[in-house]
């Protein structure tokens, strides 16, 4: 099977995986929102920060290193497997010992036992790093779907049942635990690979020389990505942190669904042509055009219709999160551009530049938080938007150097879709605030009209991604008619 066909199928199965898994997650989140309080989400948001850091230590870049290797041997896989197990134990012990101190810092006694229990996900996930990396290399996202969908469904049912029984925040903790456990069990059942006794220092050094920089970058990214939660939970209240976390969770579902499927597939696919700069540039230009063409209007309409959306789907206790979600949508506009530019560095093996960029961006984030944390949450989120815009400059700089994809060309590829999306989003928001209609009718009518206006306008304005999408659809229809 050709690389193009494997990539197309990979995107389809990965998108299906993301759609089903995140669809279940979204439905579960909305159901739990009726049962649990913002305080429960505030506690889980704090726990999630530190378990994410521990997971990054456990992975240490081996997943990315395995995916990128031109040829991978049993020695490489075995070495990565045992390294992840050892690092998983170390990461969990550090998390276990830190739990009382984290609890004291936030003055939340429950955090100690919650962190110790939820931290077990780090040990469980250590058993799936190599299994998932192999499937990523093969672009076999169909088998990943076989594991992730039952895990999402089973863990969601358990969490809803526990919430109904009054378990509170524990329902969210056991959702994470059971999801990890079910995923690992199914992956080991469907995978043919089993660890041998091969472990070599040479293989470890080869992978770690590339992976450790991504690990350090990942740790920095995790800390600073969650720094807003750390600051908000400390200087405001757990309830406010829960509102912010809930709004961010909704935005992340959209971003991960629309961007994740493409990013997960294109990294291993384009790694196979990492030495052909012309093909890499062509591939990335199409990825940027299509991804932003879909993402920009989605985020614009989500921000414009956040109020009626919350009124329909959630109890009134969550309405204060509406402005948080709207501002988070704006800070998410450049997310695919950041991801794509960083992917170029990984494909070209420049994890050193990747790490340098992360350090620069984290300094910007720290400076912005320092100047905004004394104000309200809205000011902090506006600072987040400014940081995202400023960070785009160094992110895109190295793409122009490595594959001759200049900042000017990137801007030309995404600005038309951005301008059109913002214009329609502003129009829809104005209509929603001036035309008095029931929330459900507002959502359906204005959302549908906004989406239709965007597609029609994009077609008549001859936006690159729109023309590309229509050409693919025509080709598929023509092929089927034959």
Q: What are phi and psi of 374, to 5 degrees?
A: -80, -10
Q: How far apart, in whole angstroms, are the C-alpha atoms of residue 397 and residue 466?
A: 27
User: Which one is predicted more confidently, 100 or 335?
Assistant: 100
> pLDDT band for position 481 (50/70/90)?
very low
User: Which one is predicted more confidently, 418 or 337?
Assistant: 418
> pLDDT band for position 449 (50/70/90)?
very high
Average pLDDT on 457-469 reads 77
| pLDDT the model gives residue 472 | 56
- Chain center to CA of 234: 25
Give the chain's mean pLDDT.
Answer: 80
pLDDT in tens, 381-409: 898 899 888 888 877 777 777 777 777 88
Q: Does the pLDDT of residue 97 top 90, yes or no?
A: yes
Average pLDDT on 6-31 reads 63
| Six-digit token string for 453 | 């206006």
Q: How far apart, in whole angstroms, are the C-alpha atoms of residue 135 and residue 75?
A: 17
pLDDT in tens, 71-88: 778 888 888 888 888 889
| pLDDT the model gives residue 480 | 47
| pLDDT the model gives residue 260 | 62
| Six-digit token string for 120 | 């077990």
Range of 127-131, 256-260, 285-289 with top mean pLDDT: 127-131
A 10 A CB-CB count for 142 gives 16
| Six-digit token string for 355 | 């790490």
A 10 A CB-CB count for 92 gives 22
Q: Does the pLDDT of residue 149 top 70, yes or no?
A: yes
Average pLDDT on 419-433 reads 91
Q: Express as a percent the part of the chain with pLDDT over 90.
A: 15
> pLDDT band for position 271 (50/70/90)?
low
First to last CA, the chain: 21
User: Which one is predicted more confidently, 69 or 185?
Assistant: 185
Nearest to 332 by CA among 411, 263, 247, 267: 247
User: Which one is predicted more confidently, 206 or 149?
Assistant: 149
> pLDDT band for position 272 (50/70/90)?
low
User: Which one is predicted more confidently, 281 or 293?
Assistant: 293
């Amino acid at each position: 099977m050709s690389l193009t066909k494997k990539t197309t199928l990979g995107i389809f199965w990965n998108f299906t995986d993301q759609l089903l898994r995140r669809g279940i997650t979204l439905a579960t989140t909305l159901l739990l929102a009726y049962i649990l309080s913002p305080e429960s989400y505030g506690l889980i948001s704090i726990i999630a920060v530190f378990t994410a850091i521990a997971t990054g230590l456990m992975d240490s870049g081996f997943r990315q290193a395995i995916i990128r290797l031109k040829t991978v041997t049993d020695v490489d896989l075995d070495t990565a497997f045992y390294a992840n197990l050892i690092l998983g134990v170390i990461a969990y012990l550090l998390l276990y010992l830190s739990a009382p101190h984290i609890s004291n810092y936030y003055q939340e006694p429950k955090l100690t036992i919650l962190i110790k229990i939820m931290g077990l996900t780090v040990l469980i996930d250590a058993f799936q790093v190599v299994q998932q990396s192999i499937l990523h290399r093969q672009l076999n996202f169909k088998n990943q779907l076989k594991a992730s969908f039952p895990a999402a469904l089973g863990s969601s049912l358990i969490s809803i049942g526990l919430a109904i029984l009054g378990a509170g925040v524990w329902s969210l903790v056991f959702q994470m635990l059971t999801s990890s456990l079910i995923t690992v069990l199914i992956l080991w059942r469907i995978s043919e690979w089993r660890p041998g006794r091969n472990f070599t220092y040479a293989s470890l050094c080869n992978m770690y020389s590339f992976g450790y920089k991504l690990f350090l970058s990942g740790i920095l990214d995790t800390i600073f990505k969650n720094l807003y939660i750390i600051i908000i939970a400390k200087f405001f209240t757990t309830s406010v942190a829960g509102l912010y976390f809930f709004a961010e969770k909704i935005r992340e579902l959209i971003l991960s669904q629309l961007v994740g499927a493409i990013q997960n597939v294109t990294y291993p696919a384009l790694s196979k042509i990492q030495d052909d700069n012309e093909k890499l540039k062509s591939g990335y230009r199409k990825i940027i055009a299509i991804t932003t063409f879909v993402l920009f209007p989605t985020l614009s309409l989500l921000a414009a219709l956040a109020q009626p959306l919350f009124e329909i789907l959630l109890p009134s206790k969550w309405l204060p999160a509406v402005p948080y979600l709207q501002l988070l949508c704006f800070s998410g506009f450049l997310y695919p551009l950041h991801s794509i530019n960083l992917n170029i560095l990984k494909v070209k093996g420049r994890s050193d530049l990747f790490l340098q960029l992360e350090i620069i961006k984290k300094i910007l984030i720290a400076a912005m938080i320092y100047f905004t944390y004394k104000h309200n949450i809205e000011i902090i989120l506006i600072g987040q938007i400014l940081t995202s815009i400023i960070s785009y400059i160094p992110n895109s700089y190295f793409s122009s150097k490595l594959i001759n994809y200049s900042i000017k060309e990137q801007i030309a590829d995404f600005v038309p879709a951005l301008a059109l999306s913002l214009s329609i989003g502003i129009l829809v928001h104005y209509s929603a605030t001036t035309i008095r209609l029931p929330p459900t009718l507002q959502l359906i009518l204005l959302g549908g009209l906004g989406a239709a206006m965007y597609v029609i306008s994009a077609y008549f304005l001859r936006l690159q991604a729109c023309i590309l999408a229509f050409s693919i659809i025509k080709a598929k229809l023509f092929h089927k008619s034959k």
